[in-house]
Amino acid sequence: MTAHALIELAAAFSRNEFLEYVEFADMNYPTGYNQMLTFLHNMNSATLFRLATYCLQDKLGSVPDHAYVGFLNTLNEHKDVITEEVVKLYAQQYKDDYFTGLLWDKAKSPLPPSRK
Amino acid sequence: MAYSQRNEFEADSQGLVYFQHAGFTLDGAIGAFGVLDSADYLMFEDTLDLRHYFSFDGYPFKSYWLDTENSALQWARDTTLYMIPDSLKSHPDCDVRIQRIGELAATDSEQIIVVADEAMVMEKLKDVFQFESLEGQLMARDYVMALYMRSSTSNPLS
């Protein structure tokens, strides 16, 4: 889930939508949350993708052929630019309707509507 | 508020009678107040150990990742602002309630039901709920909250 969030934020950065997902620190927020916001504001898309890659290797590298791990690897490898071919390849390999559906959504709408 | 708190003590003593007649142990009642008490604390208040969490063999943590220069505001927080005086609470503090029910409890109460591994079951449930909550944050595309919650917990599932 950490890798998933990092990949999505990296992709949002690439689409110039980072600030729609990551607000600025605020003295009314808990200290830990402000730390996280500060940390993210010191990132760029490349560092976020790189962190996601290491996170995937470190925490999930030993998990064989899991549909979610495959989904995350697909997102990370294709930097959120998902084409029909990519989805078909995933569907063929993992045969998981849920994650295939999520990839189809990304393939149909590479620039998802703003969260706000 | 004092009137409300008196009512709560009365309710506790009545509840304790029902509780014991149902065959539960006093420890269970005290444990329940302990759980209630823990809910008063913010789960994710503590400082995060991001240096540990985002450091990998081939990609160690960079100290400038925590520089506050890019933050719009300096965010030192005065936690005393969030403390509520006891006189303004509708319910008495849990430690006071635990003490009261301890005094009220009959020493010869029957102890019929003892739930084994209660704490372990609770920990497992906590893990499952945290996992579900994280999944919900991801689905809602609140990725910052998902990262924050994930780095604040020790749940190996997520």
Largest CA distance in chain B: 64
Across the interface, do B147 and A36 touch by the CB < 8 Å criterion?
A: yes
Q: Which residue of B has its CA nearest to A22?
A: B144
Q: What angle separates helix A97-108 from helix A67-77, to the nearest 10 degrees?
A: 20
Please, are residues B128 and B45 in contact by the beta-carbon 8 Å criterion? no
Closest partner CB to B148 (pick from A36, A51, A55): A36
- Which residue range is the domain that position A59 belongs to? 2-108
Work out the minimum CA distance from B148 to partner chain A, whole angstroms: 6
Q: What is the ipTM of this complex?
A: 0.82
Taking the domains of chain B in order of start, what are their residue ranges? 2-114, 116-158
Confidence of residue A22 (pLDDT cuts 50, 70, 90): very high
| pLDDT exceeds 60 at position A113 | no
**Residue numbers of A between 26 and 55 with CB closer than 8 Å to B:** 26-43, 50-51, 54-55
Where residue A22 falls (left for φ over 0; alpha for ψ -120 to 50; beta otherwise) is beta
Quick check: B43 pLDDT over 70? no
Q: Which of A47-51, B31-35, B94-98 has the highest mean pLDDT?
A: A47-51
- Measured between CA atoms, how close is B35 to chain A, in angstroms? 22
The DSSP secondary structure of chain B, one letter per residue, reads -HHHHHHHHHHHHHHHHHHHHTTB-HHHHHHHHHHHHHTTS-TT-SPP-HHHHT-BTTBPPPGGGG-STTSSS-----GGGGPPPGGG-SS--HHHHHHHHHHHS-TT----B--TTHHHHHHHHHHHHHHHHHHHHHHTT-HHHHHHHHHH---TT-
Q: How far is Cα A15 from Cα A80, in angstroms, rounded to an integer?
A: 10
Q: Do B45 and A37 touch (CB under 8 A)?
A: no
Task: Give contacts of A 71-100 with B, CB under 8 A.
Answer: none
The tally of domains found in chain A comes to 1
Q: What sign does the CA torsion over A54, A60, A66, A67 have?
A: negative
Tell which wins on pLDDT, B69 or A67.
A67
Greatest mean pLDDT among B50-59, B63-72, B85-94: B50-59
> Measured between CA atoms, how close is A48 to chain B, in angstroms?
11
pLDDT value for B157: 42
pLDDT at residue B117, rounded to an integer: 65
Lowest mean pLDDT among A78-87, A98-107, B40-49, B96-105: B40-49
Q: Is residue A98 part of a domain?
A: yes
Measured between beta carbons, the chain B residues lying within 8 angstroms of A17 are none
Q: How confident is the model at residue A47 (pLDDT cuts 50, 70, 90)?
A: very high
pLDDT at B8: 77
Q: What is the DSSP letter of A65?
A: S
B147 contacts in A (CB within 8 Å)?
2, 5-6, 9, 36, 40
